[in-house]
Amino acid sequence: MTRMSYREAMREAIRAAMREDARVFLMGEDVGRYGGTYAVSKGLLEEFGPERVRDAPLSELGFVGAGVGAALGGMRPIVEVMTVNFSLLALDQIVNSAATLRHMSGGQFSVPLVVRMATGAGRQLAAQHSHSLEGWYAHVPGLTVLAPATVADARGMLAAALADPDPVIVFEHVQLYNTEGDVAEGPVDIRRAAVRRAGTQVSLVTYGGSLPKTLEAAAMLAREGIDAEVVDLRVLRPLDLPTVLASVRKTRRAVVVDEAWKTGSLAAEIVARIAEEAFYDLDAAPARVCSEEVPIPYPKHLEDAALPQAEKIVAAARALFGKP
């Protein structure tokens, strides 16, 4: 086991992939000389050179499209989009091209493309750079959508993503880059959710940057005598519903924590699936803890108030037991 930061884990995953397969290259804004906006690619240009670590112009539509073309041509591109809000400029390439080409070609073509992007709020980047749009991509057939929430997943998921013949989107929450944890060698299963804390009385279902807050809430609930299980989705498409439903059927209560806005959220989909498939196993209606329905504010106290926090998760779980 090796201890490292989430940022270092992502860097080591990219480095290992590039060393092992000459077809793998990294492309995006400021990934080369600057070392990446979040310093994930620092040092890679010096090791692999400008042919394999390519600084792209400020045109997400253009360089993501180039990544799609490179994947069709037999390469294994890792395309970094600086933040998720910028990815909206490349939706045509991701949703209308990468996600559909296998289907539209009758299985003749695949697009082994990995798109990495930073997501989430909490760093006072205001309404411009605080989006949580993972649910938008999880809506689209043809994509695999990953949200590594632990250092081990940050290190292990990329190899499995690059081995996938179809496009994979990797969401890296900005609040996780400085977190530290232990990692082991080898790829991670990118089809399964993970139970991060076993419990018997309420299931807290979450992903990405909300996992640390949810684990904190579970610890707070334990001090009140409520035994919470924490399920980390990890993979947002395809959703591992069997793991979620097994947890809910055991605890008979569910709170879904999602940093996205509540309306039309991934949390809404998960609650709907629970209601459809585990309704008669529930002792209380499922609850959701999401961001307030406003553009994320800049002032720190307002940003904190707009986002899911451990205290909000605890309050939602308490309510399922009829406690104030």
The catalytic residues are: 60, 129
SS3 content of the chain, % helix, strand, coil (to 5): 40, 20, 35
The tokens describing 97, both together, are 């091209």
Our measurement of the distance from residue 211's CA atom to the centroid of its chain's CA atoms, rounded to an integer in Å, reads: 11
Cross-strand pairs, 170: 116, 146
For residue 225, the tally of other CB atoms under 10 A from its CB is 8
CA–CA separation, 177 vs 5, rounded Å? 7
Q: What is the amino acid identity at position 315?
A: A
d(CA 233, CA 208): 8
CB-based contact 273:241 (threshold 8 Å): yes
Which helix (H) or strand (E) element contains residue 224? none
